Amino acid sequence: MRDQNQNQNQKKSGNEARPTNPKQGGGNGNKRFRHNKPPRNFWKSLLTNKGFDLLVLVIGITIAFAINNWMTAKDELAEENFYINNLAVDVDKDIARLTASLAGLKEDYEVLIPYVEKFGKEAVVGDSLASVVVAILSIDTFEGDNHTYLSMISTTKLPVITDPEVRIKLAEYYHFYKTIERFEDVYSNSLLDMNNYFSPSINYTLRSVINRSVLSSVQTKNNLLLATSHLEDGIERYQEALVLAQDLRKSLVPIH
């Protein structure tokens, strides 16, 4: 009897110790777990935070681009001013040389004109002809300083000069070099012909006439008239070049 009661107590204790998990055989097998719901305004808060992050990112990128553009513009301005300053130095040198060459042509012209005007109208002194010929048988050729401009052309840097009017003036002025060169070529050849004509009749060192027939020769007059024409043309060309150079120089001002 006592053994039977112990067995019943053990079975009861065993039943009480069993788990209530429905998977283990206890409790309601149809019971479901409850999930936690997100707090109110969760999605609104999430979207707001993401939107703010996106806005910060956009602002950051915009600032980065702005800084990059500013640095690029600063570098481009520095490069433009570098070329403007170098061009200004070149043009200043040209202006000085043009001025000197123009003065030399005018001086020769002023020596030649009085003699040509009285040639054939009155007796001329032989030594005066010699002085005139010696004076005009030389020419100071113009050596332009266009190194910066040629460098910009060869390296396609001319667009660095942002002002289109300045670029036009540069092209116009440096193209005028060819006009000066043509004059100097023509005049130099003419002077060589004059030298061939006068050298047998004039002692350049003593500035004296050794063959007086040259004083009344028609060919002498023609050579002097030709020299007068060349000098008038040269003076006009140099004056035009000087005006172009001075106008260009006024435009070559650094940008701040």
Residue range 68-86, pLDDT digits in tens = 666 666 767 899 999 999 9
Residue 11, class by beta-carbon neighbours within 10 Å (0-12 exposed, 13-18 middle, 19+ buried)? exposed
Cα torsion through 246, 249, 251, 256, rounded to 10: -150
- Condensed to tens digits (0 to 9), the pLDDT of residues 191-214 reads 999 999 999 999 999 998 999 888
Q: What is the pTM of this model?
A: 0.72
HEC letters along 142-198? CCCCCHHHHHHHHCCCHHHCCCHHHHHHHHHHHHCHHHHHHHHHHHHHHHHHHHHHH
* Of the candidate ranges 20-29, 101-110, 118-127, 216-225, the one whose mean pLDDT is the lowest: 20-29
List pLDDT tens digits, range 127-167.
788 999 999 998 888 999 999 999 999 999 999 999 999 99
The answer, yes or no, to whether residue 222 has pLDDT greater than 70, is yes
Cα 215-194-188 angle, rounded to 5 deg? 150
The CA distance from 212 to 214, in Å, is 5
The domain ranges of the chain are 65-251
Cβ pair 135, 111 in contact under 8 A: yes
The overall average pLDDT reported for the chain is: 82
| CA atoms of 166 and 202, how far apart (whole Å) | 51
What φ, ψ does residue 58 adopt, rounded to 5°? -65, -45
Helices H / strands E in the chain, number of each: 7, 2
> Positive or negative, the Cα torsion across 17, 23, 28, 32?
positive
173 burial level (CB within 10 Å; 0-12, 13-18, 19+)? buried
